[in-house]
Amino acid sequence: MQFSDFDIDLFLRDYWQKKPLLIRNPWKAWENPLEPDELAGLACEEGVESRLVVQTGENWALEHGPFPEDRFGNLGAAPWTLLVQAVDHYAPDVAALLDPFRFIPNWRIDDVMVSYASDGGGVGPHFDQYDVFLIQGLGKRRWRVGPRCDDATPLRPHADLRLLADFEATGDWVLEPGDMLYVPPGFAHDGVAVGEDCMTYSIGFRAPSRHDLIVEWTEQLVEDMTDDDRYADPDLTSAVHPGEIAPAAIDRLHTMTIEKLLDRDAFARWFGQHHSAPKYAEADWRPEEPVTVADLQALTGDGAVLLRNPASRFAFLREADGLLLFADGNAFPCAGVAAAMAERICAQDHLILDPSLSEAMALLTALINQGSLMVDEEEED
Ligand code: SIN
Ligand code: CO
């Protein structure tokens, strides 16, 4: 899927993280990448995160998947919507929807959520903490957007859904297949299906909170600390007032506390590794039989193709003598051919296994054996 009519630089300058934008069909040729039945099928699978919202009058009921297969045939007349998270992990055509958004770095991308709604269905007026592109896949949806909200914005009393108590629209549009609405973090929005068979694809981003950064980075730092690494004052002089905590003592304590936090290189390595960890830690994508360097070497030259696992997260840091590749929470130092290959695999979803990659075979083998890359069996035949 490619854009034919979308000015990326203008978008970044005037809208990204700033204000909502309606983009009428910017695609070369829009094709809905997933059938409603396939979405329902995913919602019945163990390990796939899904939700069902059924609205009866003013009552919004939320159920979590996996759902029994007959659940969607028994829904009655009340408007409902099914939402499935990270569909890009399971459906390559949905993963391909991310390609045109690669002008935003990999580490900011979260997943593609897909929703299916019956006439009148939606999740109600709310705001999210993240940027989102809402792409209309099939059918029509009326989207209204409102002002920017925050923690003080009043919510309706509801145990699980964070619905806004008041919603005043500043924009109101009906989206048709291929149309796209960008909503920055915090902006109120409400999408209601107009007619049956309404499918919406949410390209969702992520932005770490300061709270999580500090908690998670310090969690890592304290792992290596020992009990005998303590405050010491062999230079102590007689106290001026026994009650005073002297400025020099505070300086020393403060330094002890922040010194390691200020190690920018250690932070960069931790962040890359931590932020490339898979979205679902329990998913195991490793091959049944581990491959060896010799197995891979034997495939080179035959036009064999390696595919990036759409559920995998890839990013890198440039270093003085190459780069540090992060894939699914592991770090791989790369130089020369391997570094060039690492850059390529971070930017594209496949790699042709040609003989020029022979120096990178150990790295490729490791990536295959941890489930981040896979040999394209179709190409091999
Ligand atoms: C939807 O697809 O119905 C909901 C997406 C959203 O508002 O975040
Ligand atoms: Co939303």
pLDDT band at 160 (very low <50, low <70, confident <90, very high): confident
Q: What is the dihedral of CA 201, 203, 208, 212, to 10 degrees?
A: 20
What one-letter code names the amino acid at 332? Answer: F
pLDDT of the residue at 161: 82
pLDDT at 317 over 90: yes
Q: Tell which residue, 193, 39, 224, has the closest CA to residue 121.
A: 193
Contacts of 128 (CB under 8 A, 6+ apart): 183, 185, 186, 204
Q: pLDDT digit string (tens) for 91-118?
A: 999 999 999 999 999 999 999 999 999 9
What are residue 54's phi and psi, to 5 degrees? Answer: -115, 130
C-alpha gyration radius of the chain: 25
Ligand 2 geometric centre to CA of 189 (Å): 6
pLDDT at 235 over 90: yes
pLDDT band at 185 (very low <50, low <70, confident <90, very high): very high
The second-level CATH assignment, the architecture, of 8-205 is: Sandwich (2.60)
CATH number of this structure's domain 293-380, picked from the four choices 3.40.366.30, 2.40.110.10, 3.40.50.300, 3.40.50.1240: 3.40.366.30
Q: String of b and e for 129-146 (b: at least 16 CB within 10 Å)?
A: eebbbbbbbbbbbbbbbb
pLDDT at 27 over 50: yes
pLDDT of the residue at 308: 96
Q: How remote is the C-alpha of 158 from its chain's centroid?
A: 27
Verify whether ligand 1 is closer than 6 Å to residue 81 (CB atom). yes
Q: How far apart are CA 2 and CA 5, in angstroms?
A: 9
What one-letter code names the amino acid at 43? Answer: A
Identify the nearest ligand to the CA of 201 by its number: 1
Q: Which atom of ligand 1 is nearest to the CA of 204?
A: 8
Verify whether ligand 1 is closer than 6 Å to residue 136 (CB atom). no
Verify whether ligand 1 is closer than 6 Å to residue 124 (CB atom). no
- % of residues, the chain, pLDDT over 70: 99
Q: How far apart are CA 120 and CA 195, in angstroms?
A: 7
Q: Tell me the helix, strand and coil percentages in the chain, rounded to 5.
A: 30, 30, 40
The whole-model pTM stands at 0.93
Verify whether ligand 1 is closer than 6 Å to residue 312 (CB atom). no
- Report CA torsion sign: 45, 46, 50, 52: positive
pLDDT at 380 over 60: no
Tokens standing for residue 113? 């959520």
Q: Give the mutation target among 54, 123, 194 for probing the ligand 1 site: most ligand atoms within 8 A of CB.
A: 123
Mean pLDDT of 187-196: 97
Mean pLDDT of 309-318: 97
Q: How far apart are CA 265 and CA 45, in angstroms?
A: 41
83 bridge partner residues: 51, 115
Average pLDDT, the chain: 95
Contacts of 174 (CB under 8 A, 6+ apart): 140, 141, 142, 143, 194
pLDDT of the residue at 379: 55
Q: How far apart are CA 306 and CA 242, in angstroms?
A: 69
Mean pLDDT of 2-28: 96
Q: pLDDT digit string (tens) for 35-93?
A: 999 999 999 999 999 999 999 988 889 999 999 999 998 888 899 999 999 999 999 99
Q: How remote is the C-alpha of 282 from its chain's centroid?
A: 16
Residue 322, by phi and psi: left (phi above 0), alpha (psi -120 to 50) or beta? left
Beta strand pairing call for 350-352 and 80-84: unpaired
Assess contact for 52 and 82: CB atoms under 8 A. yes
pLDDT band at 6 (very low <50, low <70, confident <90, very high): very high
| Angle (CA) 153 157 162, round 5° | 55
Ligand 1 geometric centre to CA of 81 (Å): 9
Ligand 2 geometric centre to CA of 204 (Å): 9
SS (H, E, C) 19-51: CCEEECCCECCCCCCCCHHHHHHHHCCCCCCEE
| Residue 112 CA: distances (Å) to CA of 88, 172, 283, 291 | 6, 24, 17, 30
Verify whether ligand 1 is closer than 6 Å to residue 128 (CB atom). yes
Ligand 1 geometric centre to CA of 349 (Å): 27
Tell me if domain 8-205 and domain 293-380 are identical in fold.
Answer: no
Give me the residue spans of the domains in the chain. 8-205, 210-230+248-262, 293-380
Q: Tell which residue, 362, 376, 239, has the closest CA to residue 303.
A: 376
Q: pLDDT digit string (tens) for 237-295?
A: 998 899 999 999 999 999 999 999 999 999 999 999 999 999 999 999 999 999 999 99
Identify the nearest ligand to the CA of 143 by its number: 1
Verify whether ligand 1 is closer than 6 Å to residue 115 (CB atom). yes
Q: How far apart are CA 64 and CA 307, in angstroms?
A: 32
Mean pLDDT of 343-353: 94
Q: How far apart are CA 319 and CA 290, in angstroms?
A: 30
Q: How far apart are CA 313 and CA 41, in angstroms?
A: 25
pLDDT of the residue at 381: 47
Tokens standing for residue 101? 């958004």
Q: Which residue has the tokens 């991310």?
A: 98
pLDDT at 363 over 80: yes
Q: Which atom of ligand 1 is nearest to the CA of 191?
A: 3
DSSP state of 184: -
Q: How far apart are CA 10 and CA 81, in angstroms?
A: 34
